[in-house]
A and B are shown apart, each in its own frame.
Chain A
């Protein structure tokens, strides 16, 4: 029996590094990583059959529902190799699977010596998987290529084995074939992890260095910090120190996850586990930082620490102004667990008090918003997301603009916007469509490679602002969902950008201002004025709606004055009914925001700030 009972397995702090294998699984969102992980938990018997549940490791509801892993975790799996009959400890480090969390992925990878590259053999590799594969290769990880879902009727293992072999430079027959669903090939995979992935190497006598690859806030325990010990050891009661901040903490508890937390005597070289210090905020225990000993600090930190930098900004406002304190509380709480989330109070004439929030990317933004709404029961309006601009005004002053309202009036010398290198993987039949889309979005083609006969990798530089707008939704719809996208920031570039304001009866509506490329200003203006014309109800006077760049009007619509707003009949039996109707309308009127003299229903703000793609998403969700 290859599984080893936990009690008899090598114990933490007493495991020879030669017996340890640290690996992660690189996979696209729906390529079956969680199912494979579940299967590994079952086969190694760390979870009893009766306790098993789907996506065991994905703790948050939101992860389970969306089928994605946001926070990584590490599970210690004892395993007796079927090849040499020896006992080993496998640490499976779960990585987040989305482009916004590239940095977190890179730290998870840095905690491993090897990676299982898991690809759905009905779909082939996707852009994000490819990007993570490259990251793993840069970290000198041993790659074990694996095709999953071989039980599917649509499986094309030969085709995709060739594709994978070409990508990582091995033979197609070296590509393992498994089914997380049936369990086929999983035992062999575990054995190959032992056989192929090198054991960790470190100096047990050197000052302690442990890499933080994840940091999770738990309302009972405070922050749980996941670490990989590189040198020395970590034991309970140690006085530890964070390299980046120099702050000292006591290691109150050290343990491993198997897959429930198990308190341990310590962690030695190459081991993976958790430390609890009692801190309440993940920003004090940052991903990528190095833990060392306060009394015997290491001289050099482990490489690769970076502060997370928000790339996308959006205003979040409570639909009900009275919920502002609740929103602040909810953000404070969320930040305990999300070091990348930044926010500061913002007030909008149209939307009231809210927060300007910075996110790693669009998915991060969506997740934050969804968690705020779900966990704190808030209804929110978010303004259209924008990127960070470096604006040099006419008088030579440089301003960093994260909000269209900060965009200076008057003459602008220069505007720089963030640029990304985007990689799109898709069936070759969509090359034309994809190039057309990238061209529309100011993309510059960098190159194109065939991964196999009918699949290509297309590389472009694109302004991040274009991706933030609705690039991904467009890409998905124009390629019938077959294309996948990954991007990484590569710097900034000068661009011909303008701020478009929207005016209602001459009053600027701050929530609708946008910074757009000059060539798109007219399209934005007509789209927004047209939308508002449909959304704002007629009032007793005519309402001009204008789009303007500075003082220049570029688009104009108007809402005609209402002529009739009365019910003709009102006799004895109608009176109660009519009064109740009025009372109902009173509720509706409460939800009106005044822009100058114009009443704008809250729904109009929400709808105007919602893209068609958002509406489709909401519809799809409603159907589920």
Chain B
């Protein structure tokens, strides 16, 4: 099978939890440990290295094309500890010569010194959680960073020698106006970056924001307004030389995130750390969620897996359609069947699918089509 294996490395720690976040992350107080995570860092990294050993034993892949540190807040770890992980992977697999090694970063917690250390540890791509340039929107999102820090942080990465820098933006937060969003877009586009992700805020159950919405304390903007924001972002990005390559991702030419592409193309990857998901040759499996459970499971069995799912050919096809239609290349219209083709023809006529691509045998979403991608997926799949 494939000889490549991408690595996702989960760092399940944050200094505090943001109101909209449902990620698998924990604060020191939640874990009842001292607020200094440096002690945790060392022993946690040891566990990750154990899991990398497990990956080596499980997968017959030889080459690692990408590594992605996500969280949580990976930059809470000592850069040298992230470097230990990279070395552990490099020792057991062959790191591709042009390997993309990304870490997510909080603009508040990086200093020029830290950026240099990250670069020295082998990281070559940084993704900042910028979210918004408007303070009241950041407040609504329960984010603490100062928007001015973003510029300093991004410029710092350039100084430290990073070529690939991305920012994450969130739109559709309560209280965000269209002009707030425009200001955020302009601010992001004025930074020396090569990549942007922009997500419509999803209200997740079990988050502080979810509870506020449920209680009626916070009113979410309606979907039409959120759609307007997507349209505005796509236009502005395009004008600034950032092309969409996935529904919520834009980049300068050649600066697509290759790690994320692996997810969407159905490649093999290993997710290390609590709650991380892996995919190897049609098998999806994921680890126990809580860091303590992860630690115990690693100690007792040497394998942190919680559950797994073997995908049948039908599920593989569904997933491929669902993921790849979100990409710039779209999917092939071969073998869709007459009924589906007739339905999709209606979407071409309605301006939701690219007519030229359609003639060339591809199903490619237009801007309006990207906004109703899930509906089109349902048309294709059932």
B199 near A562 with CB under 8 A, answer no
Stretch at the interface among B11-19, B140-148, B295-303, B372-380: B372-380
What chain B residues lie within 8 Å of A583 (beta carbons)? 318
The answer to whether B242 has its CB under 8 Å from any CB of chain A is no
What chain A residues lie within 8 Å of B322 (beta carbons)? 570, 578-579, 582
The answer to whether B271 has its CB under 8 Å from any CB of chain A is yes
Q: A573-B276, A579-B318 are in contact. Are A567 and B382 (CB under 8 A)?
A: no
What mask results when residues 168 to 205 of chain A are scored 1 for a CB within 8 Å of chain B, else 0?
00000000000000000000000000000000000000
What chain A residues lie within 8 Å of B227 (beta carbons)? 563-564
B224 near A564 with CB under 8 A, answer yes
B56: shortest Cβ distance to chain A, in Å?
A: 20
A547: shortest Cβ distance to chain B, in Å?
A: 26
A616: shortest Cβ distance to chain B, in Å?
A: 25
The answer to whether B195 has its CB under 8 Å from any CB of chain A is no
With CB as the reference atom, state the residue of chain B lying closest to A576. Answer: B284
Q: A563-B224, A576-B284, A579-B318 are in contact. Are A540 and B375 (CB under 8 A)?
A: yes
* Complex alpha-carbon distance, A530 and B199, angstroms: 34
The answer to whether B350 has its CB under 8 Å from any CB of chain A is yes
What chain B residues lie within 8 Å of A586 (beta carbons)? 378, 381-382
A565 near B284 with CB under 8 A, answer no
Partner of B378, one of A562, A563, A582, A597: A582
Partner of A568, one of B247, B286, B309, B372: B247
The answer to whether B119 has its CB under 8 Å from any CB of chain A is no
A551: shortest Cβ distance to chain B, in Å?
A: 28
- Interface SS of A by simple majority: loop
B263 near A575 with CB under 8 A, answer yes
* Complex alpha-carbon distance, A567 and B373, angstroms: 8
With CB as the reference atom, state the residue of chain A lying closest to B8. Answer: A572
18 further A-B contacts with Cβ under 8 Å, apart from A566-B371, A575-B323, are: A540-B352, A560-B224, A564-B224, A564-B226, A565-B371, A565-B373, A567-B202, A570-B263, A570-B322, A572-B263, A572-B271, A572-B278, A573-B271, A578-B322, A579-B319, A582-B377, A585-B378, A586-B382
What mask results when residues 252 to 278 of chain B are scored 1 for a CB within 8 Å of chain A, else 0?
000000001001100001010001111
What mask results when residues 522 to 554 of chain A are scored 1 for a CB within 8 Å of chain B, else 0?
000000000000000000110000000000000
* Complex alpha-carbon distance, A578 and B374, angstroms: 10
The answer to whether B370 has its CB under 8 Å from any CB of chain A is yes
**Chain B contact residues, CB within 8 Å of chain A:** 8, 198-200, 202, 223-224, 226-228, 230, 247-248, 260, 263-264, 269, 271, 275-279, 284, 286, 309, 315, 318-319, 322-323, 326, 346-347, 350, 352, 370-375, 377-378, 381-382
Q: A575-B284, A576-B277, A586-B381 are in contact. Are A566 and B202 (CB under 8 A)?
A: no
A111: shortest Cβ distance to chain B, in Å?
A: 61
What chain A residues lie within 8 Å of B378 (beta carbons)? 582, 585-586, 589
A585: shortest Cβ distance to chain B, in Å?
A: 6
The answer to whether A480 has its CB under 8 Å from any CB of chain B is no
Some 17 contacts from A to B, beta carbons below 8 A apart, are A540-B347, A560-B224, A562-B372, A562-B375, A564-B227, A565-B372, A566-B370, A568-B198, A569-B199, A569-B202, A570-B263, A572-B277, A572-B279, A576-B277, A579-B318, A582-B318, A582-B381
What mask results when residues 574 to 605 of chain A are scored 1 for a CB within 8 Å of chain B, else 0?
01101100110110010000000100000000
With CB as the reference atom, state the residue of chain A lying closest to B309. Answer: A576
* Complex alpha-carbon distance, A579 and B326, angstroms: 14
* Complex alpha-carbon distance, A568 and B224, angstroms: 14
What chain A residues lie within 8 Å of B199 (beta carbons)? 568-569
What chain A residues lie within 8 Å of B374 (beta carbons)? 565-567
A566 near B372 with CB under 8 A, answer yes
B250: shortest Cβ distance to chain A, in Å?
A: 13
B271 near A540 with CB under 8 A, answer no
Partner of B230, one of A564, A569, A571: A564
Partner of A570, one of B271, B275, B326: B326
Partner of A571, one of B263, B286, B372: B263
Partner of A566, one of B247, B279, B315, B318: B247
What chain B residues lie within 8 Å of A541 (beta carbons)? 350
What chain A residues lie within 8 Å of B224 (beta carbons)? 560, 563-564
Interface-central residue, B199, B248, B271, B372, by most chain A CB under 10 Å: B372
B127: shortest Cβ distance to chain A, in Å?
A: 12
* Complex alpha-carbon distance, A568 and B373, angstroms: 10
* Complex alpha-carbon distance, A560 and B222, angstroms: 13
A564: shortest Cβ distance to chain B, in Å?
A: 4
B286 near A573 with CB under 8 A, answer yes
B23: shortest Cβ distance to chain A, in Å?
A: 9
Partner of B200, one of A568, A575, A576: A568
With CB as the reference atom, state the residue of chain A lying closest to B200. Answer: A568
A49: shortest Cβ distance to chain B, in Å?
A: 56
B269 near A572 with CB under 8 A, answer yes
* Complex alpha-carbon distance, A477 and B271, angstroms: 62
A567: shortest Cβ distance to chain B, in Å?
A: 6
A610: shortest Cβ distance to chain B, in Å?
A: 27
With CB as the reference atom, state the residue of chain A lying closest to B315. Answer: A579
What chain A residues lie within 8 Å of B373 (beta carbons)? 565-566
What chain B residues lie within 8 Å of A572 (beta carbons)? 8, 263, 269, 271, 276-279
